[in-house]
Structure 1
Amino acid sequence: MPRVRSDDYQTKSHAIMDCAAALFAKEGYPSAKMQDVAKACGATKSMLYHYFPTKDDLLFAMLMEHLERVVSSVEDAIALQAPPHDKLLAMVQVYTQKSAQSRRRHMIAMQDVKYLPRAKQAPLIELQRKLTDLIAGLLREVNSGLPDEVYKPYTMMLIGLLNWTDMWYRPSGAMKSQELCDRISRLFLKGFMAENA
């Protein structure tokens, strides 16, 4: 049997994850079956199991890849040599862009981690925690001197705003993505910068 090249493997596994994300978003993770994923992908179940032995493995791989990409993009934005306000805008832009590129995976990441066994949840929760810590650190740069305990709630407010925007925003609508990011940044900053110790 010919050895599968790693780039072929990556391409096929990505295609499977994309099909599965569409199915999970439509049917719900608990209701979807591996045979449904195989059918949606135009693949046999045995081919599907070659890439992902279980449905949990498929969900885990999908969410791990998505969250790693979001975290990496946010790290890059925060590492920019720029004023804190500009870094916040850059972070909003990459966060919004990464979630929009894989909108279905982003929705699943918010809703379906709970269906995985605890051992598979742990690294995903760790990535979510890392993302939260990165954004909290950026908010500390933007408005330093607030009590330590308020940065986490503000971080969760901002992440909630960004996550739920992904549910309703349509790039084909009247508001283009750059304007959306600018407005989100201004809306958040005006309130956040009004806060003082």
Structure 2
Amino acid sequence: MVRIRTSAYDEQREAILSHAARLFAERGYPATSMNQVAEAAGLSKSTLYHYYRDKYTLLVNIVEGHVSKLELLVDEVAGENLTAEQRLRELIRRFVEEYSGAQHAHRVLTEDVRFLEEADRERVVVKERRLVAGFAQAIQQLRPELDAASLSKPLTMLLFGMINWMFTWLRPDGGLNHEAMASVVADLFLGGVPAVRPPALVPLSTSS
């Protein structure tokens, strides 16, 4: 007989992932046990195994789930009728908004992805490359001449450097929230992009 999953079942799975992400973010993946996850979720260990067979499965679901949500945001923005600047601003806004509610999952993605097995890690890397490509395309649309100098991707990585590590210093109870910072990041980046000049290419040395 096929067991039908209910909405309550899916909600419990998501709640477990949330608790596990917090513990992995605070303690590190290797130092967190299934007993600790069960305790944090208010479940017995046997009940926890009903939802996830082991700690590694939790890690895969946290990391892949988080990056898949970001991937969906890129696809949604790409499907909207926006100018180049509007597209980039909207990407920044939606990413920062997503990070605001997924700080633990994001920390797990940045710090614990190395514990994934090769096939799982490669699947996540492919998704991350799609995220980079989505931003790079928006930058290329904004300043096409920079792509000829192969700067679209480096500029994208600089932008990710601003938003990806915001969770390390931005406090929810501080004077600035994520919504305000998304606008600041967009202004700072878009204000600087027009000033970028393609560097002179360094000729490759030839051996005699």
TM-score by length of 1: 0.92
Partners of 2:172 and 2:93 in 1: CA distance: 13
Q: Which residue of 2 aligns with 1:96?
A: 96
Q: How far is 1:78 from its partner?
A: 3.1
Q: Is contact 1:78–1:91 with CA below 8 Å preserved after alignment? A: no
Partners of 1:2 and 1:122 in 2: CA distance: 32
Q: Which residue of 1 aligns with 2:38?
A: 38
Q: Is contact 2:19–2:41 with CA below 8 Å preserved after alignment? A: yes
Q: Report percent identity of matched pairs.
A: 29
Q: Which amino acid aligns with 1:169?
A: L
Q: Is contact 1:103–1:166 with CA below 8 Å preserved after alignment? A: yes
Aligned-residue CA RMSD in angstroms? 1.8
Secondary structure of 2:176 counterpart: coil
**Structure 1 unaligned spans of 5+:** none
Q: Which residue of 2 aligns with 1:7?
A: 7
Q: Superposed, which structure 2 residues align to 1:15-94 within 5 Å? A: 15-94=15-94
Higher helix proportion, which one? 1
Q: Which has the larger radius of gyration?
A: 2
Q: Is contact 2:100–2:178 with CA below 8 Å preserved after alignment? A: no
TM-score by length of 2: 0.88
Partners of 2:155 and 2:11 in 1: CA distance: 38
Secondary structure of 1:10 counterpart: helix
Q: How far is 1:4 from its partner?
A: 5.2
Q: Is contact 1:114–1:121 with CA below 8 Å preserved after alignment? A: yes
Partners of 1:72 and 1:87 in 2: CA distance: 15
Q: Is contact 1:96–1:162 with CA below 8 Å preserved after alignment? A: yes
Is 2:129 aligned against 1:129?
Answer: yes
Q: How many residues align?
A: 197
Partners of 2:4 and 2:33 in 1: CA distance: 26
**Structure 2 unaligned spans of 5+:** 199-208
Partners of 1:110 and 1:176 in 2: CA distance: 22
Is 2:119 aligned against 1:119?
Answer: yes
Q: How far is 1:189 from its partner?
A: 1.4
Partners of 1:189 and 1:110 in 2: CA distance: 25
Q: Which amino acid aligns with 1:120?
A: D
Secondary structure of 1:159 counterpart: helix
Partners of 1:3 and 1:135 in 2: CA distance: 41
Q: Which residue of 1 aligns with 2:151?
A: 150
Q: Which amino acid aligns with 1:5?
A: R
Secondary structure of 2:165 counterpart: helix
Q: Which amino acid aligns with 1:25?
A: A
Partners of 2:173 and 2:4 in 1: CA distance: 39
Q: Which amino acid aligns with 2:71?
A: V
Partners of 2:85 and 2:68 in 1: CA distance: 24
